[in-house]
């Protein structure tokens, strides 16, 4: 009897699993098909995800039901991982670097946009609370879309690009503060004050615990974990969900926990590598998050949401850039930078949906408000993508109109970025000697290495260095490799160097690339990929000894001198190099 019961339960379980796999297979297949069309139209893939959800949901095919527990779980995982990456990139030092103008501009942009959006929603007959939620949600610009498009245009380090990144950080901080407030908003009257005080006390205690862990525990763990890429990935996931669960257990939302987990790792020297490794997993669950979002759109909701969605989309596309333009002009930015920044921010963010989902969870919003945001997102993302792509051409079109107001008296800021003439990949064995030569010649260079000990030694010596993997394209995108004069790779793996060389050659034909091989199996492949020269240590060693042998006499004193020089070099290596 027990055996029969167990077998029956097992059959039910397998039936459910098969159903899940079938639904996910259909969803991903549909998403990929739509993504091909979306890419041809030069649109962000987020559009494909939402459209796939619309088609797969009850509005059309009815393949999925967003209320099913496993789809809700997938959406929640996507939110947690997205907010973890947001926390990981929440660099307050960057805001300080770009100046108080970003803080002032971001705050004013948020207040003005939210106020006007609130007025529109109230005018269209929505309640005060729902109007406030939607108005706040449309103030945030999409970090994922903006960074991706600006990186593609190589504009991340321009004046307007740095301003927009700083603005996005300010928006992220505001969104996190709002989520913390929502954590205490369900209580009323005297209990509300008690809830606020309790939350404040817990928050201070929690922040103290996380700071202590980040200062005393994390460095010890990370230096050992980072030696293995797989272990680093597993540790990052464990830390993310562990800290998020701790924060949730303390009475805060799981979303706040994800941000806290990210912030605690953000100051680590391994931040870039962690971020690049976690993004593929985040992207998978974000795909499902936006599919679930699109699937929640109902026919009845679409009818009520269409007019408000179109009005708010028009406001975000037209009025929001104007607001940011005038704010930046008041802060003495040039017309060009103010215009380019304004149209770059003309879309709504994934953060807005997270706040909307939170509002629905605690009973403040209904499906119709989510439908409004979905319509606004689709319209603004599609249009703003073209605005960002052709921003310089658009500025040239409107420049005669702007010049009619007189001469631009704002001083044209120079685009400044930390550019290195040489990048050296791999500090062990060959790389340290290369670095010493570059330092003696006073050439600006930066070292990339996957060894935590090497990075620590370089930082102690004041040499710019980043912990990262040459085969990780996500990591390579964070480096200005295409602006370097020379890239020297001393790493032994041919496959990793092929990835690196192809990445650089796709972005620059002028950068000279020196690679390294210990055998000739992949020599032609490296040259075909774009390497200018491939070092082969055994050939170089043979050339050196042949040069020595050509010099006479072959006396004991001659070889004693060579041995002495070798010992001096080894002392230098163990002083500045890697053991």
- Give tens-digit pLDDT for 502-550: 889 988 889 999 998 887 778 888 899 899 998 887 677 777 777 777 7
Band of residue 190 on the pLDDT scale cut at 50, 70, 90: very low
Residue of higher predicted confidence among 383 and 6: 383
Q: What is the pLDDT of residue 195?
A: 63
500: exposed, middle or buried (C-beta count within 10 Å: 0-12, 13-18, 19+)? buried
Percent helix, strand and coil across the chain, each rounded to 5? 70, 5, 25
Q: What is the pLDDT of residue 512?
A: 92
Q: Which tokens in the block code for residue 38?
A: 């979306």
For residues 139-169, one letter each, b for 16 or more C-beta atoms within 10 angstroms of the residue's C-beta and e for the rest, the string is bbbbbbbbbbbbeeeebbbbbbbbbbbbbbb
For tokens 């009973």, the residue is 363
Domains along the sequence of the chain with CATH: 41-63+77-392 (1.20.1530.20), 422-576 (3.40.50.720)
**531 CB-near residues (< 8 Å, 6+ apart):** 497, 501, 513, 514, 515
Q: In the predicted model, is pLDDT for residue 188 greater than 50? A: no
Q: In the predicted model, is pLDDT for residue 14 greater than 90? A: no
Residue of higher predicted confidence among 281 and 510: 510
Q: What is the pLDDT of residue 403?
A: 77
Q: Taking the CA atoms of 315, 319, 323 and 324 in sequence, report the sign of the dihedral they define.
A: positive
Residue of higher predicted confidence among 417 and 245: 245
Q: What is the pLDDT of residue 303?
A: 72
**Rounded-to-integer distance, Cα 310 and Cα 306, Å:** 6
Q: Which of 207-221, 285-299, 481-495 has the highest mean pLDDT?
A: 481-495
pLDDT tens digits, one per residue of 255-265: 778 888 888 88
Q: What is the DSSP letter of 319?
A: I
pLDDT tens digits, one per residue of 84-98: 887 787 666 666 666
Q: What is the pLDDT of residue 511?
A: 92
Band of residue 568 on the pLDDT scale cut at 50, 70, 90: low
Residue of higher predicted confidence among 550 and 330: 330
Band of residue 144 on the pLDDT scale cut at 50, 70, 90: confident
The answer to whether the beta carbons of residues 576 and 436 sit under 8 Å apart is yes
Instruction: Determine the length of the chain.
Output: 579
- Is the peptide bond between 553 and the residue preceding it cis, with omega within 30 degrees of 0? yes
Q: What is the pLDDT of residue 416?
A: 47
Residue of higher predicted confidence among 407 and 119: 119
Q: Which tokens in the block code for residue 468?
A: 């990262």
Query: What is the mean predicted confidence (pLDDT) over 172-190?
Result: 66
Q: What is the pLDDT of residue 185?
A: 54
Backbone torsions φ then ψ of 420, nearest 5 degrees = -110, 140
Q: What is the pLDDT of residue 6?
A: 53
The model scores a pTM over 0.75: no
CA angle 517, 518, 523 (to 5 degrees): 40
């Amino acid at each position: 009897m027990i055996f029969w019961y167990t077998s029956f339960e097992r059959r039910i379980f397998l039936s459910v699993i098969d159903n899940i796999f079938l639904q996910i297979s259909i969803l991903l297949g549909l998403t990929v098909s739509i993504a091909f069309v979306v890419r041809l139209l030069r649109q962000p893939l987020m559009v494909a995800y939402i459209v796939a959800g619309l088609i797969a949901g009850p509005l059309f095919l009815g393949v999925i039901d967003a209320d099913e527990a496993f789809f809700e779980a997938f959406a929640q995982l996507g939110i947690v991982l997205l907010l973890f990456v947001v926390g990981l990139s929440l660099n307050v030092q960057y805001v300080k670097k770009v100046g108080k103008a970003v803080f002032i501009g971001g705050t004013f942009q948020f207040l003005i946009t939210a106020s006007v959006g609130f007025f529109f929603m109230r005018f269209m007959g929505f309640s005060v609370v729902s109007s406030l939620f939607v108005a706040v949600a449309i103030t945030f610009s999409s970090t994922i879309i903006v960074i991706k498009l600006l990186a593609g245009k190589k504009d991340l380090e321009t004046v307007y690009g740095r301003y927009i990144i700083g603005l996005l950080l300010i928006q992220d901080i505001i969104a996190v503060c709002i989520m913390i407030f929502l954590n205490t908003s369900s209580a009323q009257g005297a209990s509300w004050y008690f809830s606020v005080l309790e939350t404040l006390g817990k928050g201070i205690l929690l922040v103290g615990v996380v700071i202590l862990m980040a200062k005393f525990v994390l460095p010890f763990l990370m230096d050992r974990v980072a030696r293995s890429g797989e272990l680093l990935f597993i540790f990052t996931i464990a830390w993310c969900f562990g800290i998020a669960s701790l924060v949730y257990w303390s009475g805060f939302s799981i979303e706040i926990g994800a941000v806290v987990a990210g912030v605690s790792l953000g100051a680590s020297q391994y931040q870039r590598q962690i971020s690049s490794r976690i993004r593929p997993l985040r992207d998978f669950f974000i795909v499902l998050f936006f599919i679930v979002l699109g699937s929640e759109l109902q026919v009845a909701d679409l009818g009520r949401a269409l007019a408000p969605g179109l009005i708010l989309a028009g406001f975000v596309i037209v009025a929001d850039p104007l607001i940011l333009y005038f704010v930046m002009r008041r802060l003495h930015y040039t017309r060009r930078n103010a215009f380019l920044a304004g149209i770059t921010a003309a879309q709504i963010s994934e953060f807005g949906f997270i706040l909307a989902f939170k509002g629905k969870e605690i009973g403040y919003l209904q499906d119709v408000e989510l439908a409004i945001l979905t319509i606004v997102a689709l319209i603004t993302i599609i249009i703003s993508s073209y605005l960002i792509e052709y921003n310089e051409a658009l500025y040239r079109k409107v420049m005669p109109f702007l010049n009619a107001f007189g001469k631009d008296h704002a001083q044209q800021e120079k685009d400044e970025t930390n550019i290195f003439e040489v990048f050296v990949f791999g500090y062990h064995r060959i790389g340290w000697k290369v670095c010493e030569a570059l330092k003696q010649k006073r050439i600006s260079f930066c070292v990339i290495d996957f060894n935590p000990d090497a990075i620590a030694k370089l930082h102690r010596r004041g040499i710019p260095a980043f912990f990262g993997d040459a085969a990780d394209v996500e990591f390579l995108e964070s480096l200005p490799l295409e602006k370097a004069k020379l890239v020297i790779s001393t790493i032994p793996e041919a496959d990793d160097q092929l990835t690196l060389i192809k990445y650089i050659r796709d972005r620059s034909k002028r950068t000279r690339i020196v690679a390294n091989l210990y055998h000739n199996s992949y020599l032609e492949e490296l040259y075909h990929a774009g390497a200018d020269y491939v070092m082969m240590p055994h050939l170089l060693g043979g050339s050196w000894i042949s040069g020595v042998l050509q010099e006479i006499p072959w006396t004991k004193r001659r070889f004693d001198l060579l041995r002495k020089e070798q010992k001096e070099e080894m002392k230098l290596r163990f002083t500045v190099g890697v053991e």
